[in-house]
Structure 1
Amino acid sequence: MALKDEYLLDETGWSILRELQRDARLSFPEVGRRVGLSAPAVAERVRKLEDAGVITGYGARINPAKVGLPIMAFVRLTTTPMTEAGLHTFVAELPELLECHRVTGNESFLLKLVVTSISHLESVLNQLMNYGPVTTSLVLSTPRSGEPLKQEAVNREFSG
């Protein structure tokens, strides 16, 4: 592990992460009560987790449909070396974009978009086609989303 202080991701560190992922608005005294530490000890651990880049930010989760963006789509885009730099510039300013991932496989990028309507999606797709062929999947429902990272995933191995 590349952390300066190995204890940051011990059982207590993971407990702090679990509580903050459930509710980042918890006070340090409340987190401390839940994990068995004093508020100053929690504050120090959280600061070190932030400094180490484990905690990268805090924010509210917003329901896109409730703010006028009821359609979600995943777009797979295949770029060339000539178009990739332009795509980076374009997506940096694309307000409909929630996520952009460089991926392996036949496509180069996977984008997660939210839009107001199918015609709005078509307009965004037409712009993305300037950077390469696109394949689009509309999201019908989302059974799970925004799940917290779990300590068990770090050490889990699958046996065949």
Structure 2
Amino acid sequence: MPDNQHITLDRTDEAILQALQTDGRMSTADLARTVSLSASATADRVRRLVDAGVITGYVATVAAPALGYPITAFVRLAYPSGNYKPLHDLLDVTPEVIEAHHVTGNDCFIMKVLARSMSDLERITGRIATLGTITTSVVYSSPLTGRRLSPA
């Protein structure tokens, strides 16, 4: 679905989205009971939401510290070139960068980085700094993560 296209959803579609954002592993039967439809009608609606690009996938949410990444940081990069291939190449070989966004303003990119330690963060940011000026903000805590979306 193109970025500027908006799909019209009814209340049942919205209820399906809310339920699946709360529990993406919910069975079709449980989802059907939640939204007061038959299982086949619910499955059809979910398939339509997938086909329309509203539902883009299902994922497991994992705790980074449990996997050995207790440090989260946001790294802003002022990238002096319009050739983004070196950045894309770096992102391809740096799995600790879990998000990267091209943004407006003084910085060109904002990246979310996970690290094993402060020295590991220094190593990762040192690699990013080879591309331009960086500013790093280490996360103390995250009072809001993964907010569910409702239609605009």
Match of 1:50 in 2: 50
Structure 1 residue 66 displacement after superposition? 1.1
* Equivalent position SS for 2:111: strand
In the TM superposition, what are the counterparts of 1:5-154 in structure 2 within 5 Å? 6=8, 9-151=9-151, 154=152
- Number of residue pairs aligned between Structure 1 and Structure 2: 149
More helix by share: 1
Match of 2:5 in 1: 2
CA-based RMSD: 1.5
CA-to-aligned-CA distance 1:39-80 (integer Å, 9 cap, x gap): 111111111111111111101111101111000000000112
Query: Does the aligned pair in 2 maintain the 1:96–1:113 contact within 8 Å?
Result: yes
> Could you tell me the TM-score, scaled by structure 2's length?
0.92
CA-to-aligned-CA distance 1:92-133 (integer Å, 9 cap, x gap): 332101111111110000000111001101111111011111
Query: Does the aligned pair in 2 maintain the 1:20–1:26 contact within 8 Å?
Result: yes
Distance change (3 Å), C-alpha of 1:10 and 1:93: farther
Amino acid in the other structure paired with 1:74? F
* Equivalent position SS for 1:47: helix
Once residues 63 and 33 of structure 1 are traced to their aligned partners in structure 2, the CA distance between those partners, rounded to angstroms, is 30
Query: Does the aligned pair in 2 maintain the 1:78–1:106 contact within 8 Å?
Result: yes
Query: Does the aligned pair in 2 maintain the 1:96–1:114 contact within 8 Å?
Result: yes
CA-to-aligned-CA distance 1:1-48 (integer Å, 9 cap, x gap): 836x74xx1111110000000000001111110111111111111111
Once residues 148 and 32 of structure 2 are traced to their aligned partners in structure 1, the CA distance between those partners, rounded to angstroms, is 19
Gaps of 5+ in 2: none
Structure 1 residue 81 displacement after superposition? 2.5
Identity %: 42
> Could you tell me the TM-score, scaled by structure 1's length?
0.88
Once residues 85 and 2 of structure 1 are traced to their aligned partners in structure 2, the CA distance between those partners, rounded to angstroms, is 29
- Which of the pair has the greater relative contact order for Cα pairs under 8 Å at 6+ separation? 2
